[in-house]
Every structure is written in structure tokens, then in C-alpha cells.
Homo-oligomer: A and B are copies of this chain.
Amino acid sequence: MDAVTEQPGLRERKKRRTHAAISEAAIALFLERGFDQVSVAQVAEAAEVSKRTLFAYFPAKEDLVVHRFADHETESARVVRARPERMTPLAALREHFLDGLRRRDPFSGLNDRPDIRALFRMILETPALIVRLERFRSTGERTLAEALRETADTPDLTARLAAAQIVAVHWTLALDNATRLASGETADERYAGAVDDAEHAFALLENGLRRLPRHGS
């Protein structure tokens, strides 16, 4: 029915162009004046589209910005499923994250291309956008739990707990990197520290919090 790989057809191509045009117009305006200072009506006008049409392409204002992250939702689950034999899920995820740092994947929070840096900064200072990203996090967690359950022969609760911990750590690392870059650090400056932190974090996941000290210094 929906041949995406084939000739997409004029209709499909036009749809994608409109989609991209609206999103680009929106992000340009948001970066210029701030997310909350631009109304969807103004975005629609700038994109030369009616408000109704805008909402046909994007279910909510926030999606004008965060739709780019939708692909990454299921990334962890895919990594776990595609891992080589005899590799533990955690090892696969650590490899993948370290690779993301190396490749400066926005997923890892370590991309400082000016446009991406500006985008991150805007997201970080706009609560509504953070909330929307948290939703991606939830579904990422759910799909990861499923992947763990199915490929690691793990009881349901264990899979859900492990997924929750992994995603929480992942999110903490990425947010930390993004925050540092947003406030001026370059990706190259941050890289070594980011690697250290990631390794520390995955070690903590692997070995547990057993070593958290008792009271006192």
C-alpha cells in the first residue's frame, strides 16, 4: 500500500516538503523569539499554511520542535535486539553510547553544531519541550523493557526495572552533556570528560550502588 522505498508519488513528496517547510519556519521563529513568544498562528502564517493544516501535520505545538527526536525513541531497544551473541545488553548499550559520543550524535548530547546547540539551549529552557521529551523517554523505556524481556530471558519485572535504570542513566548523561554545551563548552573540550562520565555511569549500573557510603565523610 504505502510504498516508501519506491517512487514516493507527487502527493507524498509534497506532503514531506510541507512538513519540512512548516517545521523549519517554526524553528527559525522559535530560535529568534523564543518558543513561548511565538504563537502557532504566526508559525502558520510564516509557513504560508492555515492553522488547521499545521495541526494536520503536527499534533501539538511542541511537536514542531521535537519530532526530530522521535526516531531515537526505540534506539536502545534496537541496539539490545541487534547485539552480537555472547554480548550482554548493558555492554551493547555502553558501546553504542560511547560510539554516539565519538560520532557527536545529538542523541548523546554532544553535538555543538551551532544550529543544534541553539536548539538544545531553547529546549532546555522551555519546560513544555522538556515535558514532551520525557514522553519519548517513557516509550523508549517501555520498548527497551520488552527487548530485554524477549532477548535476555528476563522476568517481566526485572526487565522493567533494568530498563528504568538504564534509561534514567542515559538521560542523565545526555542532559548533562547538552547542558554543558548549551552554556558554551565545545564538543571537543567536553569529549574526554563525557567518555569518563559515561564509563563511570555504566560501571555504576553494572556493579550497583553497593558502595554508596554510610554517613559521615
Binding site for B on A (CB under 8 A): 83-90, 131, 134-135, 148, 151-154, 157-158, 160-162, 164-169, 171-172, 176, 197, 200-201, 204-210, 212-217
Flag if B171 contacts A164 (CB, 8 Å): yes
Closest-by-CB residue of B relative to A89 is: B212
- Count of chain copies: 2
Flag if A153 contacts B200 (CB, 8 Å): no
- Give chain B nearest CB distance to A109 CB in angstroms: 14
A73–B158 CA distance with the chains assembled, in angstroms:
25
- Give chain B nearest CB distance to A69 CB in angstroms: 17
Flag if A205 contacts B215 (CB, 8 Å): no
Q: In the complex, which residues of chain B have a beta carbon less than 8 angstroms from the beta carbon of A87?
A: 214-215
Kindly list the 3 A-B residue pairs having the minimum CB-CB distance in the complex, ordered from nearest. Answer: A208-B208, A164-B168, A168-B168
A157–B172 CA distance with the chains assembled, in angstroms:
9
Choose among B164, B176, B208, B210 the residue that contacts A172 (Cβ–Cβ < 8 A).
B164
Flag if A201 contacts B85 (CB, 8 Å): no
- Give chain B nearest CB distance to A124 CB in angstroms: 13
Flag if A213 contacts B154 (CB, 8 Å): yes
Can you give 10 A-B contacts (C-beta < 8 A)? A84-B215, A86-B214, A86-B215, A152-B212, A153-B217, A157-B201, A158-B204, A161-B169, A164-B168, A164-B169
